[in-house]
Chain A
Amino acid sequence: MTEPATVGLAQVLAALDEVRDPELDESVTSLGFVASSTVSEEGFASVRLRLPTYFCAPNFAFLMVADAYDAVSGVAGVTRTEIVLEDHFASEAINGGIAARSGFVESFGDLAAAELDELRADFVRKAVLAGTDRVCRPLLAAGRTTDELAELTLGDVPPSADRERLRSRRAELGLPSEDASPLLVDATTGEAIGAQALPLHLRRARLTRVSIEANGGVCRALLSERYATSGLGQKEEVL
């Protein structure tokens, strides 16, 4: 094994912390998807990614590998980047496509009809809904009424990691994300949710969060069954 430049490796992992599984809205590092990574003294960064099953959806896999390439390439001092997806039925097409800087359609030829931007946006909207539940549930538990929530702004909510995560997902979609923006907005239009529509909106938010988190639970369980070792930066799941 070549001697890794340790400072460079930490920076590469920090960059990978920002790469998310679009479906689960969690970073590829915390999910355990980073099998290994090395950085040479010349700045050649190599990352090996892994997924819970051989047949994980190739569209999401492509997005993760492409995002990882962009994130690692952007690290100061990295001169060359290689991202390799291991043990996947579409590894060859994805790895080849990313290395050649091709889009999804070009990499898969006739099998893919459209680029993945719209699919990604759909899932960021789901992340906004799930994040809404994470931020609102503690407020309701503390005695706030739904009518009161309808009046709140993002800035009214006590600062937390969940609030900032919600803010950043909203910003990603171009939805209002300032402190003065309403706490509850429609994830497509950005319009404030009125008090009357709020109970249903909150139920949908809860359901969306349950769906994403249960899906994440299955993915983690399958990953730990498939690989005996932890991924770089993998976070333990709270069961």
Chain B
Amino acid sequence: MYEKDGEKYFVVDSHMHYWDASPENWVAGAENYAKGWIDCFHAYQSLGPPETHWSIEHFQKASEDDLMKDVFEDGYVDVAVFQPTYLKEWYTTGFNTTERNGALAEKHPDKFIVNGRWDPREGEAGIKQLEEDVARWGLKGVKMYTAEWREGSRGWTLKDPEAYQFLEKSQELGIKNIHVHKGPTIWPLDKDAFDVSDIDHAATDFPELNFIVEHVGLPRIEDFCFMATQEPNVYAGLSVVIGGLMHARPKFFAKVMGELLFWVGEDKMTFGSDYSIWEPKWQIEGFVDWDYPSEEFSDYPRVNTATKKKILGLNAAKLYGIEVPVECRLPDEAETPAAQEDAQLVDDGATV
């Protein structure tokens, strides 16, 4: 929980990791990729305030103690959601697997939510693995990489019939939240890996599932916004948005937030620190203090304490069924944000 000026903010970090990218875990023959990947993440950390930068050695593999201190002790987070990234072709035991995340979660009950993953190209074996993972970890959410290159396939889309099988299975197994990585990536080479039109289809056909688009389709925020404004069960995952822009490019941060508030709305935006790319502490402190820097932004929806409480934790708490302490709840949950009416108008006229 974070407290400022008498206001209490319940914090759900809905997108974070516990990775091992140390050289000992690099796959022989794939060292360039393993090193390039973690160096690239490390460069992103430089977009945060200088005093929060880590050495590359520390960054390659934060310890359990580091994580618990950075996220919970110093970082105000109440509940953190692990999002896995396997990358086993580059990292011997995987980069950040459900097993690795889950082992930590079991040591610290009630602190973490462990998410799984699936890939429709794995067919029956993948379905079986998903069943096992749900039984083992009690999954309520999964994270997927539609652009991942695999055995000659150049990625997949959520509207593939095979993906629909997995979505149906997920629903049947009690999974509610589908986090989809739509952001900076490598594969495939030729297609536009940031294409979000597949989410449009799946979100319409699976109204009981929530689709959280991580990194809001960066660098294609416009495509994401046009789509999200039409789908009630599509959410904007703010990982990278706050960490990457708020400190390094404050004016662009204000514009991106303004656009997201206008097109998507404050009820459908969720905070994610992207730890350990960035620590949550400065992001939460900065965001609670944040407002548009000048009059130039006067035609964007306003931001108030309730907006920030929703984004920092209340929205994700709803998605994951997390009990919020009474003192952190909003006095009037029925309050409708100003952006919603505008978004409705846009919905009627959009020809995307």
The answer to whether A and B interact is yes
Query: What residues of chain A have their CB less than 8 Å away from a CB belonging to chain B?
Result: 23, 52-55, 57-59, 89-90, 104-105, 108, 110-114, 116, 119, 122, 126, 129, 197, 200, 203-204, 206-208, 210-215, 217-218, 221-222, 225-226, 239
Say whether A200 contacts B349, CB under 8 Å.
Answer: yes
Query: Chain B contacts of A221 at CB under 8 A?
Result: 46-47, 248-249
Contact status B221-A89, CB under 8 Å: no
A90 to B186, alpha carbons, bound, how many Å? Answer: 10
Contact present for B259 and A207 (CB under 8 Å)? yes
Q: Is B49 an interface residue (CB 8 A)?
A: no
Checking B33, B40, B248 against A217 with a beta-carbon cut-off of 8 angstroms, the contacting residue is B248
Query: Bound complex: CA of A204 vs CA of B346, how far in Å?
Result: 10
Q: Give the dominant DSSP class at B's interface.
A: helix
Partner of A208, one of B39, B43, B222: B222
Contact (Cβ within 8 A) A55 B225:
no
When the two chains form their complex, are residues A207 and B225 in contact, meaning their CB atoms are under 8 A apart?
Answer: yes
In the complex, chain B residues 144-196 whose Cβ is within 8 Å of any chain A Cβ: 149, 152, 154, 184-193
Query: A141 — nearest CB in chain B belongs to which residue?
Result: B296
Q: Are B46 and A110 in contact (CB under 8 A)?
A: no
In the complex, A156→B111 CA distance in Å?
61
Interface string of B234-246 (1 = CB under 8 A from A): 0000000000110
Residues in B whose Cβ lies below 8 Å from that of A110: 152
* In the complex, the 10 A-B pairs of residues with the closest C-beta atoms, listed nearest first: A215-B219, A214-B252, A217-B249, A211-B221, A54-B36, A112-B190, A225-B46, A210-B255, A208-B222, A211-B222
Binding site for A on B (CB under 8 A): 32-33, 36-37, 39-40, 43-44, 46-47, 149, 152, 154, 184-193, 218-222, 225-226, 244-245, 248-253, 255-256, 258-259, 262-263, 346, 349-350
Residues in B whose Cβ lies below 8 Å from that of A226: 43
Q: Is the CB of B188 within 8 A of A111?
A: yes
Smallest CB–CB gap between B320 and chain A, Å?
Answer: 29
Interface pair B40/A214, CB less than 8 Å apart: no
Instruction: Check B245 against A204 for contact (C-beta < 8 Å).
Output: no
> Considering residues B39, B244, B249, which has the most beta carbons from chain A within 10 angstroms of its beta carbon?
B249
For residue B37, which residues in chain A have a CB less than 8 angstroms away from its CB?
55
Asked if A53 contacts B251 (CB within 8 A), the reply is: no
Q: Cβ of B47 and Cβ of A203 under 8 Å apart?
A: no
Nearest Cβ on chain A to B217's Cβ, whole angstroms = 9
Q: Quick check: B252 and A210 within 8 Å, CB to CB? A: yes
B249 and A54 within 8 A (CB) = no
- Pick from B188, B190, B259: contact of A210, CB under 8 Å: B259
**Residues of chain A within 8 A of B47, CB atoms compared:** 218, 221-222, 225
Complex alpha-carbon distance, A122 and B220, angstroms: 12
How far is A213 from B251 in the complex, measured between Cα atoms in Å? 10
Residues of the B chain whose Cβ atoms lie less than 8 Å from the Cβ of A122:
192
26 A–B contacts, CB within 8 A, in A order: A23-B219, A52-B43, A55-B37, A57-B185, A59-B190, A89-B33, A110-B152, A113-B154, A200-B346, A204-B222, A204-B226, A207-B221, A207-B222, A210-B222, A213-B252, A214-B249, A214-B252, A214-B253, A214-B256, A217-B245, A217-B252, A218-B219, A218-B245, A221-B47, A222-B47, A225-B46
> Given A89-B33, A112-B190, A218-B219, A210 and B43 touching (CB < 8 A)?
no
**Roughly how many angstroms separate A218 CA and B152 CA in the complex, as a whole number?**
31
For A90, list chain B residues within 8 Å (CB): 189
Given A211-B220, A222-B47, A239-B251, A58 and B259 contact (CB-CB distance below 8 Å): no
Shortest beta-carbon distance from B216 to chain A in Å? 10
B349 and A54: CB pair below 8 A? no
Q: Is the Cβ of A104 less than 8 Å from the Cβ of B349?
A: no
- B191 / chain A contacts, CB cutoff of 8 Å: 113
Contact in complex: A89, B263 (CB < 8 Å): no
Given A213-B252, A225-B46, verify A126-B33 contact (CB < 8 Å): no
Chain A residues closer than 8 Å to B262, beta-carbon distance: 203
Cβ of A111 and Cβ of B189 under 8 Å apart? yes
Least CB separation from B47: chain A residue? A221
Query: What's the nearest-Cβ distance from chain B to residue A163, in Å?
Result: 21
> How far apart are A88's CB and chain B's nearest CB, in angstroms?
9
Shortest distance from the beta carbon of A191 to any chain B beta carbon, whole Å: 12
**Closest chain A CB from B33 CB (angstroms):** 7
A126 close to B222 (CB less than 8 A): yes
Known: A211-B221, A222-B47, A239-B250. 18 other contacts (CB 8 A): A54-B39, A55-B184, A55-B186, A89-B36, A104-B189, A108-B190, A111-B187, A111-B188, A111-B190, A119-B192, A129-B222, A200-B349, A204-B226, A206-B259, A207-B226, A213-B255, A214-B218, A217-B249
Known contacts A112-B189, A200-B350, A221-B248: A54-B152 contact under CB 8 Å? no
CB distance from B48 to the nearest CB of A (A): 11
Q: What B residues does A113 contact at CB under 8 A?
A: 154, 190-191
